[in-house]
Amino acid sequence: MREAHNEDNREDEVDLHGILPSHILARAAAFPISSNPDTVDQRSSIHSLFRYLPTTEKAHELRSIYFKYAAWM
């Protein structure tokens, strides 16, 4: 039964490799231990993350959902 539940969860997962650039995925894999951006290229790659962030309203909604249903974990 547990194995079937895991398979259901895999179907709901999103493959980020088709959505996000590889440099962003590499930085996410290093989180929370990531080096400070030293070069202009590294700083600009961090700034490129902003276009993937939700709107302020959506972020507040997601935050509320998290605190209502998941923060106790």
Mind listing the pLDDT tens digit for each residue in 33-70? 666 665 666 666 677 778 888 999 999 999 999 999 99
Q: Which of the two residues, 45 and 26, has the higher pLDDT score? A: 26
CA dist 68 and 50 (Å) reads 26
pTM, rounded to two decimals: 0.46
- How confident is the model at residue 68, as a pLDDT? 94
Look at residue 9 and tell me whether its pLDDT is greater than 60: no
Q: Please tell me the predicted confidence (pLDDT) of residue 28.
A: 73
Hey, is 14 helix, strand or coil?
A: coil
Other beta carbons within 10 angstroms of residue 73's beta carbon come to: 4
